């Protein structure tokens, strides 16, 4: 069974679980998928089910159900999937561009506390995205990893490894 067939099976499960939903556009593993028929679903109880698709049986379980948010977390043959039904409101939000995350542009990184620079993980000219490691700062015998909270390109590094810095000192400049 290929991934497309598997996604169709998942769509059928969600349609059967939440029958009142008419729109059949789903988000499975963060990809838009249209549902189709061709599967037989037998519920063993409220949580477990057996799915027959193209003559093969698959065993499933509802791990988490959030009907109000149109979401299900299911497990089929030891693989976990998060399924979301896309509705009219979701389409409107996308059309208005309100679903795009706002990412701030980095200007400078200041020391959040006094401490000693243990490691510098970036270089001048390097582009950063949210979550990239910038440096490690040791304070009160604990190492704190400072990560990018926005996007930017490293313009200047005003510190060296082993240097002691005060709270508020400008460590890195971005452009």
Structure tokens at 107: 């200007």
| Model pLDDT for residues 135-151, shown as the tens digit of each residue | 999 999 899 999 999 99
C-alpha–C-alpha distance, residues 91 and 27, integer Å: 12
Q: Does a structural domain hold residue 101?
A: no
| pLDDT band, residue 29 (cuts 50/70/90) | low
What is the total count of domains within the chain? Answer: 2
Based on the fold, state whether residues 89 and 138 are members of the same structural domain.
no
Based on the fold, state whether residues 113 and 140 are members of the same structural domain.
yes
Domain that holds residue 55: 3-95
Q: Does a structural domain hold residue 100?
A: no
Burial class (CB in 10 A: 0-12, 13-18, 19+), 19: exposed
Return the minimum-mean-pLDDT range out of 47-56, 117-126, 137-146: 47-56
Based on the fold, state whether residues 75 and 132 are members of the same structural domain.
no
CATH of the domain at 168: 2.40.50.100
Q: Does a structural domain hold residue 102?
A: no
End-to-end CA distance of the chain: 49
**What count of other Cβ atoms lies within 10 Å of the Cβ of residue 53?**
17
| Model pLDDT for residues 75-117, shown as the tens digit of each residue | 888 888 887 766 777 777 777 777 677 778 999 999 999 999 9
Q: What is the pTM of this model?
A: 0.46
Q: Which of 63, 95, 127 is the last residue of a domain?
A: 95
Summary mean pLDDT of the chain: 80
């Amino acid at each position: 069974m290929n991934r497309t067939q598997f996604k169709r099976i998942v769509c059928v499960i969600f349609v059967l679980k939440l029958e009142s939903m008419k729109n059949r556009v789903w988000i499975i593993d963060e990809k838009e998928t249209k549902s189709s028929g061709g599967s037989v679903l037998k519920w063993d109880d409220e949580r477990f089910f057996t799915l027959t698709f193209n003559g093969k049986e698959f065993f499933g379980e509802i791990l988490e159900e959030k009907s109000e948010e149109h979401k299900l977390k299911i497990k089929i043959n030891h693989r976990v999937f998060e399924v979301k039904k896309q509705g009219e409101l979701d389409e409107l939000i996308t059309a208005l561009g309100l679903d795009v995350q706002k990412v701030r542009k980095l200007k400078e990184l200041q020391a959040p506390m006094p401490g000693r620079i243990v490691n510098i993980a970036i270089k001048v000219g390097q582009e950063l995205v949210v979550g990239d490691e910038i440096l490690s700062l040791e304070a009160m015998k604990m190492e704190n990893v400072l990560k990018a909270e926005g996007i930017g390109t490293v313009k200047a590094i005003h510190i060296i490894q082993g240097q002691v810095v005060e709270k508020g000192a400008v460590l890195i400049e971005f452009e």
